Structure 1
Amino acid sequence: MALKRGRGVAAVNYPTGMNLGGDPTQALVHSTPTGNFMVSLSSVDLGQGMKQVMTQICAETIGVPTDRVVIDTADTDTGPHCMGTFASRGTHRAGNAVVQAAMEARQVMLEVAAEELETDAADLDTDGQGNIHVKGAPQRSVSIFDTALAAHFKHGRSISGRGMFLVPRSYPDTETGAMKPSTCYAHACTVAEVEVDDETGEVTVLSIKNVFEIGRALNPKMVEQQLVGGSWMGISHALYETTEPYYPSREHGGRDFNQYVMPGPGDLAETEIVVLERPAADGPYGAKGPGEMCANPQIPAIANAIFNAVGVRIDTLPITPERVLRALRQNAGAAH
């Protein structure tokens, strides 16, 4: 009996969004009288940081600090339409809609500022700190605060914009069934190192090395956190989590989340994350969707590493000690 080590590799690509009827998302942007900007969405933040990213996208497009932007995800009765937060589509679809809405609002803002500065809107730019100035003459400026006040109380204009991102529906080819379900794809590769106890069937993940190509990382620290968390989830899916009976019958299944098996801090492997940025041509500032993909490649990489260590293929999740032992015994029996 021995502890045997193995290494496994797996690579995946993952679509951003699902083209089921066009996959549309809408956004609305408007300013308050004091120059803050409200973004209305029906795209829900599930904890992945979508509100923060939408804040950055809106602020970058309008040319204001991020603390001047508020995201209101409202609900499906009061917010603009969204297909939903699924299919790793939030940043890409909602982000594009926010860019459109923010560009329209920015144009109105510049037109009002142009009247205040007695110039043409095309000659104006923002400094990202809350001011609008004449290009090449920063001393000729007006604050966005004063511009918003003037729009509301002097010029009777609404600094607002509407945005919608819609991928035209792709219909399957009648002969082949071929279609285009997505406009861009993210990519990942994982190398897993494991240790397998061939007496007990226990698998220990020693290290996980992940490389992700996600378009452009709009918030690098949040991307890193999501990818590290996703890597942990991938290990959990591969070796622990299941809603099915543990072994060998339903009476042995967990009855609640206190008995639902997941790895704890002591089970986490040494983790390395490398992010490759290849901006998507149709993404908001080049972003794709790293969402679900971050927990995918670890699973086949671990399965391949187990095969490399002890020579058995496990094709049912989770890869429990019982399943490893059964496969080892089956292999030994076949050898005799």
Structure 2
Amino acid sequence: MAKKIGRGIAAVWYPTGMSGGGDPSQAIIKMQPDGSVDVIIGSVDIGEGARTVMRQIAAEELGVSIEKVNVTLVDTDTSPLDTGTFASRVTHQTGNAVIQAAREARQVLFEVAAGQLGVQPDQLIVKDDMVVVRDFPEQAIPIADVASHATWVERRLIAGRGAFGWPPAAIDPETGAGEPLHNMAYGATIAEVEVDTETGVVRVLKLVSAYDCGKAINPLLVEGQIDGGAAGGLGSALLEELHPYYPTLDHYPTGFFSYMVPTAKDVPALDAVVVEMGSLTGPYGAKGIGEMTANSQAPAIINAIYDAIGVWITDLPATPEKILRALEAKEAA
């Protein structure tokens, strides 16, 4: 029995948002009389941390502590429109919509506070739950006091609306040229594997993945996305077989007892590297960091297998049977 070690690398580029454009997000922000903030969006959080990121963005723009921000998802009838949680789009599209809504609400806040402080609205900033006169920071008033005054004295609603999304890409009918992709991000994975030439079993020893997220609004969530993507990419490389006898449907998996996915036992040592190359359009320079994190592991693992035993596997997943058949073909050649 021989166990051989190999290393491989693969790179990927990936757009933010739906290819071809036409995927808007909307947001509404309103401030309660006590200075707390409601962020109303249609984006669904499926574990990637969208609610947390939207809370951070709203808190940053309105100068309130994050504990005072509540993100609300109601239903598709009453929530602002959102195209969907896919295409690595929520942080970018919905984040921009939340920024717009927060800035509109902040302008109302400044108009009310300006009358209380005897200054012009453009002289004000928000910081640490206070509205502050920019050039005279000793002149300040709690945001909660401004919100209360707006509600009960001036009878004003401190609220804002936001909407963001690229229009559908126009295609030149003569040349076919257009701009279907936006806000490109980049990534790479290095894989180290051990291949058993007697059994064909491949064991991934380590995955190092580096991804450009533009700006890590929440670095811990970004690292979680990268690690989760690494596990998913490992599954597509070695385990997940949809059609074992393609193009027929013979013996296709009908449940998790026959469709293999990686578990904690299968996941190797992971190293997530966050790269920040700010975008021109994303909130604070952020890009999408969802789908692409699962895309570079499989080719890196396949390259590592070749480095270890000198055979190419061109049909995923790289099962032990395929490894052994490739080795037999190599010996027979």
TM-score by length of 1: 0.93
State whether residues 5 and 309 of structure 1, in contact with CA within 8 Å, keep that contact through their aligned partners in structure 2: yes
In structure 1, runs of 5+ residues without a counterpart are: none
Aligned-residue offset at 1:226 = 1.5
State whether residues 19 and 167 of structure 1, in contact with CA within 8 Å, keep that contact through their aligned partners in structure 2: no
Answer yes or no: is 1:286 the counterpart of 2:274.
no
Aligned-residue offset at 1:299 = 0.7
Answer yes or no: is 1:14 the counterpart of 2:29.
no
Aligned-residue offset at 1:136 = 3.0
| 1:122-271 → structure 2 map (5 Å cutoff) | 122-127=122-127, 129-245=128-244, 254-271=253-270
Q: CA–CA distance in 2 between the matches of 1:18 and 1:252?
A: 34
Q: CA–CA distance in 2 between the matches of 1:160 and 1:20?
A: 32
- Decide which moves more: 286-295 or 168-177: 168-177
Q: CA–CA distance in 1 between the matches of 2:140 and 2:50?
A: 33
Aligned-residue offset at 1:36 = 1.0
- Decide which moves more: 311-320 or 277-286: 311-320
- Decide which moves more: 132-141 or 43-52: 132-141
Q: Which residue of 2 aligns with 1:71?
A: 71
Matched residue of 1:206: which SS? strand
Q: CA–CA distance in 2 between the matches of 1:94 and 1:136?
A: 33
Q: CA–CA distance in 1 between the matches of 2:322 and 2:173?
A: 43
Answer yes or no: is 1:25 the counterpart of 2:25.
yes
Q: Which residue of 2 aligns with 1:327?
A: 326
State whether residues 20 and 179 of structure 2, in contact with CA within 8 Å, keep that contact through their aligned partners in structure 1: no
Aligned-residue offset at 1:254 = 4.4
Matched residue of 1:234: which SS? helix
In structure 2, runs of 5+ residues without a counterpart are: none
Aligned-residue offset at 1:21 = 5.2
Name the amino acid aligned to 2:143.
I
Matched residue of 2:271: which SS? strand
State whether residues 7 and 191 of structure 1, in contact with CA within 8 Å, keep that contact through their aligned partners in structure 2: yes
Aligned-residue offset at 1:270 = 1.6
Distance 1:328 1:307, change over 3 A: same
Q: Which residue of 1 aligns with 2:294?
A: 295
Percent of residue pairs bearing the same amino acid type = 48
Matched residue of 1:38: which SS? strand
Q: Which residue of 2 aligns with 1:97?
A: 97
State whether residues 200 and 321 of structure 1, in contact with CA within 8 Å, keep that contact through their aligned partners in structure 2: yes
Q: Which residue of 2 aligns with 1:49?
A: 49
Q: CA–CA distance in 1 between the matches of 2:130 and 2:278?
A: 29
